[in-house]
Amino acid sequence: MASANSTAGLHGAGMFAKKTGGWLIATALAFILLGIFSIIEPGVAGLAITLLVGWLLVFGGVAHLVGICSGSGVHHVAWQALIGSLYIVSGSYLVAHPLMGLATLTVLLAGIILAEAVLEAGEYFQTRGERGSGWLLMNALVTLLLSGVIWRHWPSSSAWAIGTLVGVKLLMTGISRLMCGLTTRKLVFLVP
């Protein structure tokens, strides 16, 4: 009797794993298709990302302004009003001027990648005696090179940098989710 209950529990888990694997595969295919599109059309993808960031900033600004109502004290109200206004102005700029916004986001991206390269180089120097730490240095150098390419070719790099990098990220995310989904589906067959 006890084994029948445990088998029923495993069967329920198997159905859950099968559904989860199916959803992982479906989302993986969407990520892969979006990644391929972003790599093929990086300018269009970059503009779409700029508009998305702009609208997210606008909605975030509105949320901060709504947060004023729950504030206690002048300091909190002033801070929420300042942040909300800054978000709305920045988001509105990106939505109204997507090409200039894309150029601005590209410069910001190059700065972030440069900061990442410096931090990775610092991490290498802290762990250089450890096995495999050379990979940190290599990653720092490649990241520094990517940042330099974006900076050197700016503003023309705005046409490809964000769209291509997001496309590669979407493609890699899709491939990893596809592998997880396929593995999950294989595990279903191992459940009695």
Q: Measured between alpha carbons, how far is residue 192 from residues 16, 18, 28, 109, 189 in Å?
A: 14, 13, 27, 50, 7
Q: Which residues, in sequence order, are CB contacts of 63 under 8 Å at separation 6+?
A: 84
* pLDDT for position 68: 83
What pLDDT is attached to residue 11?
A: 57
Boundaries of every domain in the chain: 9-190
Residue 62 CA, distance from chain mean position: 23
Q: Which of 156, 145, 171, 142 is nearest to 40 (CA)?
A: 171
pLDDT in tens, 132-190: 778 878 888 888 888 888 888 888 888 888 888 888 888 888 888 887 777 776 766 65
Query: How much is the pLDDT for 148?
Result: 87
Distance, CA of 177 to CA of 147 (rounded, Å): 28
* Residue 131: burial class (beta carbons within 10 Å; 0-12, 13-18, 19+): exposed
For 69-122, how does the pLDDT look when each residue is reduced to its tens digit (9 = 90+)?
776 778 878 888 899 999 999 999 999 999 999 998 888 888 888 898 898 888
Q: 18 falls in which pLDDT band (50, 70, 90)?
A: low
Q: How far apart are CA 104 and CA 50, in angstroms?
A: 9
Sorted by sequence, the CB contacts under 8 Å of residue 61 that are 6+ apart come out as 83, 84, 85, 86, 87, 88, 89, 90, 91
| Tokens 């390419």 -> residue | 149
How far is residue 2 CA from its own chain's centroid? 46
Buried b (16+ CB within 10 A) or exposed e, 63-94: ebbebeeeeeeeeeeeebeebbeebbebbeeb
| pLDDT for 7 | 47
